[in-house]
Amino acid sequence: MGTIAGAHSPYMAGWGTWNGNWSWALVLVPLTIVMHVAVIAGVAVGLERVRRKPQRDGAYPGWNAFVRVLISIAAIALVLTVLHALECGVWTVAYLRLGAFTSPAEAALYSVDSMTTRGASDLHPDTHWRLLGATEALDGMLLFGISTAFLFYVMARLWRHHRGID
């Protein structure tokens, strides 16, 4: 019977030692997703209010519509960027509270690295909490997927609106 590489390493010292990772993941992933969806819903409501206001385009209606779409997309992208940073902050606080890192800067860098699934950092949490970083990467994929879908929806909606289709 084969063995898993590193099965006898301290990283694999009993699957039960990872229970805390899953417990915290079951709190942090839904928390950040709820945060994300709540902010996106607020942005969507605000965008609909702005979209329904009568526009006075003046002498260059096409140009003004283009500028409004551009500004709207840029503003929404900025809001989403700040939102992702706040969600990394939630994970950073968790890493610090759990003792996975002692330095806030290291915990924040590790969180951003995990959330973006970049995975190139030389930083690693204490052995007991390593699975939590992988779980944060899963959370990041979900959150970035939601953001991408929303931006695509907004761009399509604004384009259709300013072309007079909807």
- Cα–Cα distance for residue pair 40/142, rounded to 1 Å: 14
DSSP 8-class letter at 146: H
- Cα–Cα distance for residue pair 67/58, rounded to 1 Å: 13
Query: Are the C-beta atoms of 151 and 76 separated by less than 8 Å?
Result: yes
Query: Are the C-beta atoms of 110 and 95 separated by less than 8 Å?
Result: yes
| Domains of the chain from N-terminus onward | 32-42+62-162 (1.10.287)
Instruction: Give pLDDT tens digits for 71-102.
Output: 889 999 999 999 999 999 999 999 999 999 99
- Cα–Cα distance for residue pair 157/110, rounded to 1 Å: 36
Listing DSSP states for 50-113 in one string gives HHHSPP--TT-HHHHHHHHHHHHHHHHHHHHHHHHHHHHHHHHHHHHHHTS-S-HHHHHHHHHH
Percentage of residues in the chain with pLDDT exceeding 90?
48
**Distances from the Cα of 64 to the Cα of 57, 69, 71, 145, angstroms:** 6, 9, 10, 30
Task: Say what the pTM is.
Answer: 0.79
Instruction: Give pLDDT tens digits for 6-33.
Output: 444 455 455 555 566 778 888 999 999 9
